[in-house]
Amino acid sequence: MNAPVAPPAVPPPAVHTTCPYCGVGCGVLATPDGAGGAGIAGDPDHPANFGRLCSKGSALGETLALGTRLLHPMARGNDGALYRLGWDVALDRVAGAFRDAVARHGPGSVALYLSGQLLTEDYYAANKLAKGFLGTANVDTNSRLCMASSVAGHRRAFGADTVPGTYEDLDQADLIVLVGSNAAWCHPVLFRRIEAARAARGTKIVVIDPRRTATGDEADLFLPVRPGTDTLLFSGLLAHLSERGAIDQAYVAAHTTGFATALEAARAQAPDLPSLAASTGLPVADIERFFAVFTATERVVTAFSQGVNQSAQGTDKVNAIINLHLATGRIGRPGMGPFSLTGQPNAMGGREVGGLANQLAAHMGFAPDEVDRVRRFWDAPHMAEREGLKAVALFEAAARGEIKALWVMGTNPAASLPRADGVREALKAVEFLVVSDNVLSNDTLGCAPDLVLPALAWGEKDGTVTNSERRISRQRPFLPAPGEARADWAMVAEVGRRLGHGSAFGWHSAADVFAEHAALSAFENDGARDFDIGALSTHDAGAYDRLPPVQWPARAGTAPSTTRFFAAGNYYTPDRKARFIAPAPPRLAAQPNATFPMVLNTGRIRDQWHTMTRTGLSPRLGAHLPAPFLEMHPDDAARLGLTEGDLARVASVHGEAVLEVRVAPGQQGGTVFAPIHWTGETSSHGRIGAVVDGATDPFSGQPESKATPVRVEAWPAAYRGFLLARRPAGPLGIWWARVAVEGGEGLLFADSEGPDAWSGRAAALLGTQSVAEYADAATGRYRAAAFDTEGRLLGALFLGPAADRTRWQAVLPLFAARSVPASERRVILSGHGLVAGADRGPLVCACFGVAEAAIRGAIAQGCSSVERVGERLKAGTNCGSCVPEIRRMLQPAIPA
Ligand code: SF4
């Protein structure tokens, strides 16, 4: 008799969820493997990405390990150490501390600092607790650093924080103007969509940015404006549209006010082309080309991001852009409109909830009737009746000792806020600091919180997020909650109950919270408020669980005829007309001077997200740009005596960082660029937030992060080296940067001491006594390596003169291998064979692990286009984020 045939194993179903990184809001299919991991793929049915993911989204499966997770509530003991305690005791302490602070010092003495990484349900709960039950509007968020100027600009022009368009407009536009947006790196899936539109219909791309980024490289016209002068360009364009008779007089008359004043101001700021060219630094011919194509093209989308928002005049910049679309009536119709690209996964959800200090709730402000409406809906005893402290002002108040109890939720202000060293001190000055987060250690947790609460992370959380095009998507759990971690909304609800508000915080699930949020959006909303998702307020747990991606408005009882706003006016101002806003003349908040003669710009890189707590766990993502860097123009580098890879100190009046120099022709002379991602956890001197000036916009309160006067100088270090180790190693040398590598951890470091000081240290650093060493005092070289009995490389420590820096690319593949052949083991210490043969250069394509050397090799063998390189190596054929870099290699001489 034949043995019974086992039924085929049924693969676990894929869970439809949403990427936790940028504001594109890509749908993700996560298939749990039953061992704490998951397979990750793009969701082909999600309308934000139709199956595509960028390098960061594709690597989500590499970021699910629990090694860095906070798993239990902890309280600080008298000795300064953290000790476990139970949830009940922890939550009692939070409630008690906030109750006492309000009783002793008033509601203005307490605050919550939230995050665009929170889910909408978390945001809603925190906002309700503060504004309805603690009586304070001191609820702000790291989204203040991201898009607060877009919010303020929308509200000034439209009367509400409304994004008029949709992603389909990018497919249908004939001209896309990207302003202050490195979309190729920061919104990669959207940028691929833009490129697809270009291939399909010949869409022209204009990029306006002081810095030539990967996005600028892909543009049909790149306009490298002087920092801070983009408003002048838009003013000049408004005047040009008027001169050419391109104003939509009917739309302006019927649906707007203030055009004449705005036009007069625009003409005063940009009276003619020569003066505009002189002030922006752009060639007259390029300005004329831009003006001509904008004037002649009906379907124009102007998409903008942090380069516009992160400015002390960000709100005016947003309004200068909106003015152009109001003047031409190019808004709310297919393929046209101003489009704010949000940086964070749920900045939009936070805005919908009202989780900013200058909003109340559900797109309502602090007008008496709005306060009364929300009071009645919440049945709230202690309503906040005026705006609270925005992020920068909030931490300034904390530094003065005015904030007695602060709850930081899912963010790391000690690293990410401007003047970050001052923020560290401010956090330490708070009497009772509670931090809910999902990591054991970060810069903020280093500021002696009284209590830390373990929060759920992506893959465990249950709720919703809203992307840049107003599309609400579910983040669904596919992993069990680890340790004692809880949802943030559930922690808030427990505190609310402990403060005596059981019925107001009686939710049993995220679905309950969402239903209440949706009901508030529709409460007494007769169409006077844009944000209305009342149709979702009756969803039970099952319907909430099945909720497909849905774009708002979603009013109860009506199917929207369009998902765009304002084609026929009907703005949310009292007279239902949009407002033209005359921007103030542009000026940098802080001018370069003799002491700080250069201008520092900051931003994101392709493969990392925010402070790297998640993306930093992926070796693939760490391979692209493994150390904090400072980009500068070749002429500036030469003047300062710096070459590629040297260390440079960049200092402002607020603080300093030490970064690796990258010589970049696309950087304007007199300006430098540094990424925002490195913290005190991942580097010794990489916290660029400590340097950033952060003067705030008068309307939005958003800090300037793009134009800090700085001084740059060489930071000599006699020796440079690296450590590869299987277990986390402590800081090394006088400068270091930590990065995940395949099989362990890597540390790049610099030191003032040579081989004599390092000889003999390898055993402790590599965790074994069996270490082979090579030291040469004459050449200043020291190398050590350790193998196990199977020939596996346990670790390596290399040190050499800084001027002749030892690179680790050749050793990385050996460290990742299961075993190293004896012949190659010998050359590790000599170094020669490694450098000659195995150095693959930096990783370019993170999806397929293709390094620079392979791409250059393919080009040398005749691959003359991105497509040919892709056919040969697959590089650039998945998410496409590296296509601009491959194109750069094909065209090495990019003009500055
Ligand atoms: Fe995530 Fe990338 Fe999509 Fe942004 S573009 S949501 S980071 S996969």
Q: Residue 329: is its pLDDT beyond 80?
A: yes
Q: Is 418 in the pocket of ligand 1 (CB under 6 A)?
A: no
Closest by CA to 188, choosing from 881, 878, 843, is 881
DSSP states along 75-87: EE-TTS-EEE--H
Tokens for 138, please give them.
Answer: 């001191």
Task: Taking residues 469-484, report their average pLDDT.
Answer: 97
CA distance 790 to 13: 39
Task: Taking residues 524-536, report their average pLDDT.
Answer: 95
Q: Is 621 in the pocket of ligand 1 (CB under 6 A)?
A: no
CA distance 38 to 35: 8
Task: Taking residues 307-324, report their average pLDDT.
Answer: 96
Q: Over the stretch 487-519, which tens digit does the pLDDT of each residue have?
A: 999 999 999 999 999 999 999 999 999 999 999
Share of the chain above pLDDT 70, in %: 97
CA of 186 to the centre of ligand 1 (A): 8
Strand partners, 452: 74, 435
Closest by CA to 495, choosing from 428, 486, 537, is 486
Q: Over the stretch 97-134, which tens digit does the pLDDT of each residue have?
A: 999 999 999 999 999 999 999 999 999 999 999 999 99
* Chain Cα centroid distance, residue 783: 38
- 813 pLDDT band, cuts 50/70/90, is confident
pLDDT of residue 827: 75
- 837 pLDDT band, cuts 50/70/90, is very low
pLDDT of residue 838: 56
Is the pLDDT higher at 159 or at 824? 159
Q: Give, for ligand 1, the residue of 18, 22, 614 to mutate: max count of ligand atoms closer than 8 Å to Cβ.
A: 22
- Can you tell me whether residue 453 is helix, strand or coil? strand
pTM as predicted: 0.94
Which numbered atom of ligand 1 lies nearest the CA of 24?
6
Stretch (H or E) spanning 251: helix 249-255
Closest by CA to 701, choosing from 6, 163, 153, is 153
Q: What interhelical angle do 314-328 and 148-158 show, nearest 10?
A: 40
Do residues 123 and 130 touch, judged by C-beta distance below 8 A?
no
pLDDT of residue 481: 97
Q: Residue 563: is its pLDDT beyond 50?
A: yes
- 822 pLDDT band, cuts 50/70/90, is confident
Q: Over the stretch 139-168, which tens digit does the pLDDT of each residue have?
A: 999 999 999 999 999 999 999 999 999 999
Do residues 278 and 236 touch, judged by C-beta distance below 8 A?
no
- Can you tell me whether residue 565 is helix, strand or coil? coil
- 824 pLDDT band, cuts 50/70/90, is confident
Sequence-distant (≥ 6) Cβ neighbours of residue 287 within 8 angstroms: 223, 233, 236, 273, 276, 277, 280
CA distance 188 to 802: 36
Please count the helices (runs of H) and the strands (runs of E) in the chain: 33, 34
Do residues 666 and 896 touch, judged by C-beta distance below 8 A?
yes
* Chain Cα centroid distance, residue 334: 28
Q: What's the whole-number average pLDDT of the chain?
A: 93
Q: Residue 894: is its pLDDT beyond 60?
A: no
Q: Is 188 in the pocket of ligand 1 (CB under 6 A)?
A: yes
Which numbered atom of ligand 1 lies nearest the CA of 189?
5
Q: Is 56 in the pocket of ligand 1 (CB under 6 A)?
A: yes
- State phi, psi for 415 to the nearest 5 degrees: -110, -35
Is the pLDDT higher at 272 or at 804? 272
Distances (CA, A) of 548 to 50, 60, 390, 559, 886: 14, 22, 34, 16, 37
Q: Give, for ligand 1, the residue of 19, 344, 606 to mutate: max count of ligand atoms closer than 8 Å to Cβ.
A: 19
Which numbered atom of ligand 1 lies nearest the CA of 48?
3
Q: Is 54 in the pocket of ligand 1 (CB under 6 A)?
A: yes
CA of 172 to the centre of ligand 1 (A): 21
Task: Taking residues 218-245, report their average pLDDT.
Answer: 97
Q: Is 26 in the pocket of ligand 1 (CB under 6 A)?
A: yes
Poorest-pLDDT segment among 536-540, 555-559, 831-835: 831-835
Task: Taking residues 408-414, report their average pLDDT.
Answer: 97
State in Å, rounded, how far the first CA of the chain is from the last one.
78
CA distance 157 to 257: 10
CA of 193 to the centre of ligand 1 (A): 12
Task: Taking residues 673-688, report their average pLDDT.
Answer: 97
Q: Is 20 in the pocket of ligand 1 (CB under 6 A)?
A: no
CA distance 398 to 468: 32
Do residues 366 and 137 touch, judged by C-beta distance below 8 A?
yes
Q: Is 131 exposed, middle or buried (0-12, 13-18, 19+ CB in 10 A)?
A: buried
CA of 57 to the centre of ligand 1 (A): 5
* Chain Cα centroid distance, residue 160: 24
Q: Give, for ligand 1, the residue of 17, 26, 117 to mutate: max count of ligand atoms closer than 8 Å to Cβ.
A: 26
- 896 pLDDT band, cuts 50/70/90, is very low
CA of 412 to the centre of ligand 1 (A): 21
Q: Over the stretch 771-801, which tens digit does the pLDDT of each residue have?
A: 999 888 899 999 999 999 889 999 999 999 9
Closest residue to atom 3 of ligand 1, CA basis = 26
CA distance 70 to 436: 9
Which numbered atom of ligand 1 lies nearest the CA of 28?
8
Q: Is 611 exposed, middle or buried (0-12, 13-18, 19+ CB in 10 A)?
A: buried
Q: Over the stretch 330-339, which tens digit does the pLDDT of each residue have?
A: 999 999 999 9
CA of 161 to the centre of ligand 1 (A): 23
Q: Residue 628: is its pLDDT beyond 50?
A: yes
Strand partners, 773: 784
- Can you tell me whether residue 825 is helix, strand or coil? helix
Q: Is 28 in the pocket of ligand 1 (CB under 6 A)?
A: no
CA of 56 to the centre of ligand 1 (A): 7
Is the pLDDT higher at 839 or at 682? 682
- 553 pLDDT band, cuts 50/70/90, is very high
Tokens 């007008």 -> residue: 367
Share of the chain above pLDDT 90, in %: 83
CA of 251 to the centre of ligand 1 (A): 36
Q: Is 70 in the pocket of ligand 1 (CB under 6 A)?
A: no
CA distance 768 to 121: 49
- Can you tell me whether residue 568 is helix, strand or coil? coil
- Can you tell me whether residue 600 is helix, strand or coil? strand
pLDDT of residue 714: 97
CA of 249 to the centre of ligand 1 (A): 40
Closest residue to atom 4 of ligand 1, CA basis = 22
∠ Cα 482 486 489 (to 5°): 155
Q: Is 874 exposed, middle or buried (0-12, 13-18, 19+ CB in 10 A)?
A: middle
Tokens for 830, please give them.
Answer: 């000599």
CA of 831 to the centre of ligand 1 (A): 39
Sequence-distant (≥ 6) Cβ neighbours of residue 232 within 8 angstroms: 269, 270, 276, 279, 280, 586
Q: Over the stretch 333-356, which tens digit does the pLDDT of each residue have?
A: 999 999 999 988 899 999 999 999
CA distance 182 to 706: 13
Tokens for 110, please give them.
Answer: 């307490």
Q: What interhelical angle do 273-280 and 284-296 show, nearest 10?
A: 110
Closest residue to atom 2 of ligand 1, CA basis = 54
CA distance 736 to 717: 12
Stretch (H or E) spanning 76: strand 74-76
Q: Residue 674: is its pLDDT beyond 70?
A: yes
Closest residue to atom 5 of ligand 1, CA basis = 189
- 3 pLDDT band, cuts 50/70/90, is low
How large is the C-alpha radius of gyration of the chain?
27
Q: Is 53 in the pocket of ligand 1 (CB under 6 A)?
A: yes
Task: Taking residues 198-213, report their average pLDDT.
Answer: 97
- Can you tell me whether residue 276 is helix, strand or coil? helix
Dihedral angle sign, alpha carbons of residues 266, 268, 271, 277: negative
- Can you tell me whether residue 407 is helix, strand or coil? strand
Q: Over the stretch 370-380, which tens digit does the pLDDT of each residue have?
A: 999 999 999 99
Q: Which amino acid is at 336?
A: M
Strand partners, 798: 722, 783
Task: Taking residues 280-309, report their average pLDDT.
Answer: 97
pLDDT of residue 561: 63
Q: Is 42 in the pocket of ligand 1 (CB under 6 A)?
A: no
- State phi, psi for 494 to the nearest 5 degrees: -65, -40
CA of 464 to the centre of ligand 1 (A): 16
